[in-house]
Amino acid sequence: MGAASPMLSDCLSGEPNVPMNVNHRYVLEFARRLATESPNRQLRILDFGCGGGAVVQKGLEQGLDIWGADLFQEHASDRSGASRSGLLGSRIFEIREGRLPWAAEHFDVVISNQVFEHVADLGAVVHEIHRVLKPGGTLLAVLPHSRMIFEVHSRLPFVHWFPRGSRARFWWSLAMCRCLKRNDKGKSPREWTQRSLAWIDKFCFYRTPREIDRTLAAGFEVQHIEHEYAVFRRRYSRLWRFGTPFSGTLTWINGPISRTLGGLVVLGSKKSMARPEWVGARNGSSSLRSPDQLRSGFRDLAGRPLP
């Protein structure tokens, strides 16, 4: 379910030989810190859309009780990676018919990196995550949205702003591919552009931040922590140090910049409710009111209480 393509800022980070995708580092560090600070030192963690299992494998090496689940769709060659790791069937499991293979209220924490944009019915996925989380459980999701400048898989600007299948989108994408020299793997710019756009049309469902918030708010108290994500990204990328330069009382300004560069970073706390009204959010449609801000004891990666 997780996409293999890196974000633009990963490619331009200027950090050679990085052993792990920076977003994987982020969600793993979040889970490790939460486990360390929790009275229950052995939190049960699920990596939803775990792909080849890099986060699960690293988390296990660090002593976390972490599990993974994925649809293993055509667009991600991850089943073989999970199988080679020896974790498939023991720590990593396939999602079948939209159902996770665990009982209700099984996990304390769910992390998800660049998965929700590949889901046609986001409401159904959020409902299933809500089901397997314990009362008050935590969801951390990093996901792109329709208002970002760069489409994260092609790494081309504004591609996802055009109507699907439009000729204007093709010619714009081809020009950007040539300008930014994106045609890798020995393909011509035209062939690479055609294949990239076909892949996006088949596997990506971009929504506005408001639509995403409304869907999540059906079962979670939601808070955006993009300004804290920017602090983390600045460790690894000159682009992020340049693009999110604010500190101290002005740190909050990095949040909107981070949302444009790296997408949404959403922290959710499971609501206690008998029958949550889930938003359909299929292909971006939704109908629920905007969420309230989360007020809880969660802390950011630097150890400060979240606002």
Per-residue model confidence (pLDDT) at position 205: 95
Asked if pLDDT for residue 61 goes beyond 70, the answer is yes
H helix or E strand, kind and range, residue 180: helix 167-180
109 closest CA partner among 35, 57, 29: 35
Asked if pLDDT for residue 276 goes beyond 80, the answer is no
Helices then strands, each counted (H, E), the chain: 11, 9
Q: For residues 243 and 261, is the Cβ–Cβ distance under 8 A?
A: yes
Q: What percent of the chain has pLDDT over 70?
A: 80
Per-residue model confidence (pLDDT) at position 42: 83
Calpha distance 98→291 (Å, rounded): 25
Chain segment 11-39, per-residue pLDDT in tens: 333 333 336 889 999 999 999 999 988 88
Per-residue model confidence (pLDDT) at position 222: 96
Side-chain half-sphere CA neighbours of 19 within 13 A: 4
Chain segment 140-194, per-residue pLDDT in tens: 999 999 999 999 999 999 999 999 989 999 999 999 999 998 877 778 999 999 9
Q: pLDDT band at residue 289, thresholds of 50, 70 and 90?
A: very low
Chain segment 255-265, per-residue pLDDT in tens: 999 999 999 99
Per-residue model confidence (pLDDT) at position 184: 72
Q: For residues 278 and 218, is the Cβ–Cβ distance under 8 A?
A: yes
Q: pLDDT band at residue 74, thresholds of 50, 70 and 90?
A: low
Mean of the per-residue pLDDT values of the chain:
83
Asked if pLDDT for residue 295 goes beyond 50, the answer is no
Asked if pLDDT for residue 69 goes beyond 90, the answer is yes
Q: pLDDT band at residue 5, thresholds of 50, 70 and 90?
A: very low
Interstrand relation of 156-157 and 150-151 (parallel, antiparallel or unpaired): antiparallel
Asked if pLDDT for residue 278 goes beyond 70, the answer is no
SS3 94: strand
Kindly provide the b/e burial profile for residues 136-168, where b requires at least 16 CB atoms within 10 angstroms of the residue's own CB: ebbbbbbbbbbbbebbbbbbbbebbebeeeeee
Asked if pLDDT for residue 288 goes beyond 80, the answer is no
Per-residue model confidence (pLDDT) at position 126: 96
Per-residue model confidence (pLDDT) at position 287: 37
Asked if pLDDT for residue 290 goes beyond 60, the answer is no
As a whole number of Å, the CA-based R_g of the chain is: 19
DSSP state of 306: P
Per-residue model confidence (pLDDT) at position 1: 63
Calpha distance 296→270 (Å, rounded): 12
Which tokens belong to 133? 């989380």
Asked if pLDDT for residue 302 goes beyond 90, the answer is no
Asked if pLDDT for residue 300 goes beyond 70, the answer is no
161 closest CA partner among 175, 179, 147, 144: 147
Q: What domains, with CATH codes, occur in the chain? A: 8-147+205-270 (3.40.50.150), 155-203 (no CATH)
Q: pLDDT band at residue 201, thresholds of 50, 70 and 90?
A: very high
Calpha distance 57→45 (Å, rounded): 12
Q: What percent of the chain has pLDDT over 90?
A: 67
110 closest CA partner among 17, 23, 47, 20: 47
Chain segment 221-246, per-residue pLDDT in tens: 999 999 999 999 999 999 899 999 99
| Residue 184 exposed, middle or buried by CB count within 10 Å (0-12, 13-18, 19+) | exposed
Strand order in the sheet with 264-270: 92-94, 65-70, 44-48, 107-113, 133-143, 264-270, 220-224
Chain segment 43-53, per-residue pLDDT in tens: 999 999 998 89
Helices 254-262 & 226-234, crossing angle to 10 degrees? Answer: 80
